[in-house]
Structure 1
Amino acid sequence: MIRTRFAPSPTGYLHIGGVRTALFNWLFARKHGGQFLLRIDDTDAQRNVEEALAPILHGFRWLGIDWDEGPEVGGPYAPYYQSQRMDNYRAAAAKLVAAGFAYYDYATTEEIQAEREAAEREKRQFTYSRRWMAETDADRQRFEREGRAAVVRLKMPREGTLVLDDLVRGRVEFDWAREQDHVVQRADGTCLYHLASVVDDFDFQISHVIRAEEHLSNTPRQVFIAQGLGYPRPQYAHLPYVAEPGSRNKLSKRKLDKYLKNADFAKVNEHGQRIAAALGLATSAETFNPVIVDFYEQVGYLPDAIVNYLLLLGWSLDDKTEDFSRSEMIAAFSLDRVNKAPASFDPAKLAAFQERHMQRLPAKQKVAFVLPFLQRAGIVSSPPPCDIGPKLLALVDAAGDRIKVAGDILEYADFLAPADKLEYDEKALEKRIAKPPEAMPLLKKFREVLAATEPFDAPTLDRALHQFVEREQIQIGQIIHAIRVAVTGKAVGFGLFETLALLGRECSLNRIEQTLDRIESPAPSPQPPAAILPPSAAP
């Protein structure tokens, strides 16, 4: 059976590049009727962040990338945390030593560094001398009497060539002489990634190791470990890394300042920042930026849009097909269509995928998608009122393609606010209503027209306004801007007649009345508190 795995380290939030690798593993397994596993690589205690695992797992669930075995779902090869499998790794390290594929080494860090520096001075490749290698029990006892502690190092070949048939990169050759005697077990008994990964891949019966190309250089030592332990070699596929916008450098979640110089990246980030501010979200670069998957969930992207974009980040079916459903992705995916060159992360293209997916979303599904954002912002109660459905459906329909992500609904929250909660653009209020001498008298007259207009729909309201303009012998600009500011608090927005129809007669009349009252009877400015005289100063 085909079995693939993705092995995140709980060191931070889920990265776009990591998700792309996980997606390709998931697609390959699903395409071949196999199984996809999650394994947690938490052997590095200094880098692990315990609270970081939950958002990683949540991110996969949100994207619809489910796993057959691993954290929270269990499986026949549990545990799936490397920190809980140390006994397996220590046993494997001992087996490697017994087979002559590894050795106990008693060199200090300073002694290894001295050998490195000597190689640099002599302009030659560093190759550890194995001077402090313990070949016998007597050697170990002698070194330990000196107060030295042992690590376990691989005893790598010093000559020959390893040939690897990579499913993406084709034939790859490695010179054994360039490999180092890597440490696989520390002096404290904890084991390192290379050993743990090989042991787990065997124990979990992983058939295909599909991972980022940065791990290609790890492959010789891992193949050597597998040989020493008598394991069959899995098939390897090394994917091109995800590059920075407009660059061939690897994408990193720690270079936000650099990426913000890219106009498309900055645009996506600013869009997200506006929505986050409306929701009261923390926007630390560590947890909220367009390199991190959580950013897109918080802003209101559709999971299918993200996955569709990631599919094409290093893979293509042909030179024209871009839109895929989940089932179409699974049916079409193959490793022989994966590109070898780095795939550059393109925020504008991702946004375009989101817009297309959003446009295709049926109206009722779009309402269900945006409603939680209004609830999080405190605009709609939870549970929502019974009449919110038709109102929100009309609002979503009026907004149309302006709602590119779910969080964009917050731009139109004023349509759902009661009149006394309407927020005004004070400059627009002054310019369009308070300052022009004719604006308020015209608003009062038009309010009476609105009260009598029947039916209260956009075409009828359009006719009513033009008849009013003709009757009053004014320019339409003398009244239309005042109406908009009075009913929305803003100078720009939807078409005015669609806006009035969307608000409804009662709401429109109430808002105009409140606006007139606001200007005619402005709230008094707060006065400083009166000074309190001490008792001795009282008259």
Structure 2
Amino acid sequence: MTKKIRTRFAPSPTGYMHIGNLRTALFEYLIAKHEGGDFLLRIEDTDQGRKVEGAVDIIYDTLKQVGLNWDEGPDIGGDFGPYVQSERLGMYKGYAEELVKTGHAHYCFCSEEDIEEQRKEAESLGISFKFQDPCKHLSQEEIQSRLDAGEPYVIRQTIENVGDTYFDDEVYGRIEFDGDLLDEQILLKSDGFPTYNFANIIDDHTMNITHVVRGNEYLSSTPKYNLIYDAYGWQRPTYVHVPPVMKDEFHKLSKRNGDASFQDLVAKGYLPQAVINYIALLGWAPPTEQEIYSLEELIEVFDVKRISRSGAIFDIDKLTWMNGMYLRNMSEDEYYETVASYLEKAVQGPYDRREIAKIIQPRIDVLNQIEESVDFFDQPGEYDLEMYRHKKMKSTPETALVALQAVRGVLEQMDTWTAESVHETLLALPKELEMKNGQVLWPVRTALSGKQFTPGGAIEIAFILGKEEALKRIDVAIERLQAAQAEC
């Protein structure tokens, strides 16, 4: 009988959700759900000094926004709780002491000064530092005496006579190590808290985790983890080490270096579903040329064997393109619901925001572009009259004045102001004036918006502004052009 796949996302509550962490959560989710398994959420808060207030809520909110719903976790419970490490403290000490009894760990009473002295000696000799713990050689009587005296201690892993060792990874294949080079890591700290490296082993085993997904920086630590699994006689999990998300060819993406977190991207106007789609493709190759995937489609096609061994560069331009695709593929109602709050802030005048949404949908890639692109509805931009000169449109300030005077005349005579009537009226004019379309429409768009680039053309903008406002702006443009010509 095949064992049910169980994966876990085990973040530390230390701040915003980094893109690399979110991608790890996504891969864990996809591995489990592709096989009909369970995805768990566990909060690893053993490092109390780095814990940030509100960070747990950020973890919950982020996963919910992108649709990575967990089957077990701190908020919903499950058969293997508690799902917060600080609530599981009672169990770790017993597991650590069991390793001491079997000779796979030992009590260490060394101070930081003792360790630092060895480190400096290694540096002076020009050799790599590996702590040689003198406490391994203490007699049972001396150990007990020091424990009874209340001396502070840690429990440190014991690694001796391991020799060559290896493990198999789903991404990197067989990894071989000289076990005797492994450093003896701390398992239980002097404050009674387990280290991350120890606690996650105990938790993964007791929660029946089958697949451990983490960054490839943990490849070198895995042999030490395996020694602990072996010491208990436990089955090792399936390892999936993933490459880093890179800022460029040489630097990892890092919040510490000012790179965007998931929350930063959402604040800048990127859609959660576009972000999760994009990061799925960072270090994972889909089976076809398809790039736009729903989460359900990703579950269907995800194959861990298609994860790359090399780092993937985070390309904000590619994400922006993908975000634009998501926005353009929305229905009119869904799009309006998405952009309504942005339009509410950007446009104060009495204009139909649904109509504005229609003209920006094909042209906006990121939601934060909206305000700048539509601010002319409330107040046209300050522009130079040379803007009427457009080589491609064959427009000049002189032809613009002729066109705007004619436009003003036909618009003033209109009795009904609909999108269709404005469209029909303005498109009929170039032929009457024996002008190109651009020679008429470019000056109108310039006069109405004061901008070279707008999300809609002259016809859409005129309709949304309404007859009175459109005529008012065209009058201002005509006066300015006439005054400029009079000066020549």
Question: If the TM-score is normalised by the length of the shorter chain, which range does it land in?
Answer: 0.7 to 0.9
Distance 1:467 1:223 in 2: 81
Instruction: Provide the residue aligned with 1:406 in structure 2.
Output: 367
Cα 1:166–1:477, aligned 2, differ >3 Å: closer, same or farther? closer
State the Cα distance separating 1:255 from its structure 2 match.
2.2
Q: Does 1:177 align with 2:180?
A: yes
Instruction: Report the CA distance between 1:441 and its aligned residue.
Output: 12
CA distance in 2, matches of 1:442, 1:338: 59
1:120 is displaced (CA, Å) by 3.1
Give TM-score scaled by structure 2 length: 0.84
Distance 1:173 1:408 in 2: 51
Aligned length: 466
CA distance in 1, matches of 2:300, 2:399: 66
Distance 2:89 2:452 in 1: 65
Deviation at 1:13, TM superposition (A): 0.9
Report how far residue 212 of structure 1 moved: 1.1
Structure 1 residue aligned with 2:392: none
Q: Which amino acid aligns with 1:453?
A: M
Matched, 1:452 2:413: yes
Who is 1:395 aligned against?
356
- 378, 382, 385: which one aligns with 1:426: 382
The residue that corresponds to 2:300 in the other structure is 331
Give the CA deviation at 1:178.
Answer: 0.7
Q: SS state of the match for residue 395, structure 1?
A: helix
Over the matched positions of the two proteins, sequence identity in percent amounts to 35
CA distance in 1, matches of 2:90, 2:303: 37
1:277-300: CA deviations, max 9, x gaps?
Answer: xxxxxxxxxxxx5x3111222233
2:484 alignment partner in structure 1: none
Question: SS where residue 256 of structure 2 aligns?
Answer: coil
Report the alpha carbon displacement of residue 369 of structure 1 after superposing the two structures with TM: 1.4
CA distance in 1, matches of 2:304, 2:440: 63
Distance change >3 Å, CA 173–CA 219, structure 1 → 2: same
2:60 alignment partner, SS class? helix
Question: What is the CA-CA distance between 1:25 and the residue it aligns to?
Answer: 0.6
Moved more, 214-223 or 196-205: 214-223
| Contact 1:103–1:155 (CA under 8 A) maintained in structure 2 | yes
1:17 maps to 2:11: no
Aligned residue among 457, 476, 483 for 1:495: 457
Pick one of 215, 224, 228 that aligns with 2:231: 228
- Aligned partner of 2:369: which letter? D
Alpha-carbon distance between aligned partners in 2 of 1:212 and 1:106, rounded to the nearest angstrom: 32
Equivalent in the alignment of 2:134: 131
CA contact (8 A) 1:428 1:485 kept: no
Cα pair distance change 1:94/1:380, threshold 3 Å: farther
Match of 1:119 among 119, 122, 131: 122
Provide the rounded CA distance (Å) in 2 between the counterparts of 1:125 and 1:358: 54
Identify the residue that residue 166 of structure 2 maps to in structure 1. Answer: 163
Structure 2 residue 38 is matched with structure 1 residue 35: yes
Residue pairs, 1:340-489, within 5 angstroms? 340-375=309-344, 377=345, 379=347, 391-414=352-375, 422-428=378-384, 447=408, 449-453=410-414, 456=417, 457-463=421-427, 465-466=429-430, 483-484=444-445, 487-489=448-450
Q: Verify the 8 A CA contact 2:383 2:451 in the aligned structure 1.
A: no
Which whole-Å CA distance do the structure 2 matches of 1:192 and 1:481 have between them? Answer: 67
Classify 1:468/1:254 alpha carbon distance in 2 versus 1 (closer, same or farther; 3 Å).
farther
Q: Which runs of 5+ in 1 are unaligned?
A: 257-288, 382-386, 519-539
Q: Contact conserved, 1:5 with 1:36, CA < 8 A, in 2?
A: yes
Task: Kindly report which structure 2 residues correspond to 1:20-419, keeping only aligned pairs within 5 A, or say none.
Answer: 20-133=23-136, 135-143=138-146, 148-245=151-248, 247-256=249-258, 291-318=260-287, 320-375=289-344, 377=345, 379=347, 391-414=352-375
Cα distance in 1 between the residues matched to 2:24 and 2:358: 37
CA, structure 1 residues 320+480, in 2 after alignment: closer, same or farther (shift >3 Å)? closer
Q: CA contact under 8 A between 1:93 and 1:184: conserved in structure 2?
A: yes
Structure 1 residue 235: Cα displacement: 1.1
Q: Give distance in 1, aligned partners of 2:400 and 2:291.
A: 52
SS at match of 1:5: strand
In structure 2, the partner of 1:504 is 466
Deviation at 1:463, TM superposition (A): 4.5
Whole-angstrom CA distance in 2 between matches of 1:111 and 1:19: 39
Q: 2-side partners of 1:425 and 1:74: how far apart?
A: 56
* Alignment partners' CA distance in 1, 2:370 and 2:132: 66
Check the 8 A contact 2:427/2:437 in 1, yes or no.
no
Give the CA deviation at 1:440: 10
Classify the secondary structure of the residue corresponding to 1:93.
helix
